[in-house]
Amino acid sequence: MSSIAKAGRLAGKVAIVTGGGSGYGAGIAKLFAEQGAKVVVADINEDGGKRTVAAMPDSMRFHKTNVAKESDWKRLVEASQMAFGSINCLVNNAGTTYRNKGRLQIYNHMRVTQLMPIAADARGY
Ligand SMILES: NC(=O)c1ccc[n+]([C@@H]2O[C@H](COP(=O)([O-])OP(=O)(O)OC[C@H]3O[C@@H](n4cnc5c(N)ncnc54)[C@H](O)[C@@H]3O)[C@@H](O)[C@H]2O)c1
């Protein structure tokens, strides 16, 4: 068995996975739970987040979160500690992109409306 496949590598750990309602984040959240972690899935998309948690409801909780809002982070941390105790790990994966549009048009719009708030919040501004 490879070290990646070895079960229980995250037993006793508590992780928050932002953007856990879809794509990479959903995969990371499930893998962490399979490896024994307790996982809080934090996503702005309630349906997606709940879908992820439904895969392993004993090990995961969903918390609706907009990572661009500081007040949401405070509530997320409090809810995670209430559910599972001390937090050991943050996978700050939430993000967004456009598909099938001109690159300059996308960049100018996203830079102001989506990327800057998320980046600024992640850096503590
Ligand atoms: N897929 C790729 O090819 C690729 C390449 C490079 C980087 N990334 C990055 O990896 C991360 C995950 O990508 P993915 O393909 O799984 O994307 P995805 O769209 O499938 O998942 C992103 C998740 O983040 C959530 N989200 C978006 N804005 C949020 C916010 N403000 N607060 C909370 N949740 C929010 C969405 O609801 C969604 O569930 C993103 O940050 C993306 O930019 C992806």
Mean pLDDT in the chain?
88
**Under the phi-then-psi rule, with left for phi > 0, alpha for psi from -120 to 50, and beta for the rest, what region is 73?**
alpha
Closest-CA residue, ligand 1 atom 20, reads 23
SS in 3 state form for 70-118?
HHHHHHHHHHHHHHHCCCCEEEECCCCCCCCCCHHHHHHHHHHHHHHHH
Distance, CA 92 to ligand 1 centroid (Å)? Answer: 10
User: In terms of pLDDT, which residue wins out, 10 or 120?
Assistant: 10
Q: How confident is the model at residue 9 (pLDDT cuts 50, 70, 90)?
A: very high
Report which of 71, 82, 93 is spatially closest to residue 24, judged by C-alpha positions.
93
| Cα–Cα distance measured from residue 48 to residue 30, given in angstroms and rounded to the nearest whole number | 13
- In short, whether 28's Cβ falls inside 6 Å of ligand 1 is no
53 secondary structure, DSSP code: H
At 40, is the pLDDT very low, low, confident or very high (cuts 50, 70, 90)? very high
Dihedral sign computed on CA atoms, order 86, 25, 60, 68: positive
Residue of 45, 46, 66 best suited for mutating to test ligand 1, as the one with most atoms within 8 Å of CB: 45
Instruction: Give me the pLDDT at residue 81, please.
Output: 98
| Bridge partners (DSSP) listed for residue 62 | 41
Quick check: CB of 44 below 6 Å from ligand 1? yes
Q: For residue 1, what pLDDT band results from cuts at 50, 70 and 90?
A: very low
Residue pLDDT, tens place only, 60-107:
999 999 999 999 999 999 999 999 999 999 999 999 876 666 666 667
Average pLDDT over residues 107-119: 70
Question: How high is the pLDDT of residue 5?
Answer: 57
pLDDT-based confidence at residue 2 (cuts at 50, 70, 90):
low
User: Which of 52, 76, 82 shows the shortest CA–CA distance to 63?
Assistant: 76
